[in-house]
Amino acid sequence: MSNGRVALGAVERGSEEPLEVLRAKYLDYCSAQVADLLLYLTPDEIYLLAQRAYREESDEGELSYVEMVRSATDWLSQKAALPPFEVWLEDYQAHPESYAEYFIGLWKSEAETSLDD
């Protein structure tokens, strides 16, 4: 991942938002993308995906539904073609309006927590 210098330079060039807020928005964007992928899956597909991910981790036993969704979400997060932070940041700063629909609001609480520290 980045050492922060590229992102910081990008922040200085075009955005008045603090880096913590931008990182929180990026995580919110990524979460929304994975959530969208999950919505396209049927319960059977979630089950099969979770079982596959669970086997890859070589765990044994039965999964609860919550564990299945968590496992499927984790697996999708690793397999989805999400841009690195620096690439996302450059595009977000060039076209912030096109990202508004992808934020699900998680960034607000994440940014508040980061700024309070």
What are the sequence ranges of the domains in the chain? Answer: 41-82, 83-117
Stated pTM of the model:
0.67
Q: Please list the rounded mean pLDDT of every run of 10 residues in the chain (117 residues).
A: 42 70 92 89 86 74 80 86 95 92 75 58
pLDDT at 115: 54
| Closest-CA residue to 30 (of 41, 42, 38) | 38
pLDDT attached to residue 4 = 43
Q: What pLDDT sits at residue 14?
A: 54
- pLDDT value, residue 7: 41
CA 67, distance to chain mean position in Å, is 19
Q: Distance between alpha carbon 50 and the CA centroid of its chain, in Å?
A: 18
Alpha-carbon distance of 111 to 107, in angstroms, equals: 6
Q: How much is the pLDDT for 87?
A: 97
Q: How far apart are CA 76 and CA 67, in angstroms?
A: 14
pLDDT at 86: 97
Read off the tokens for 117: 């520290």
At residue 3, the pLDDT reads: 41
pLDDT at 62: 78
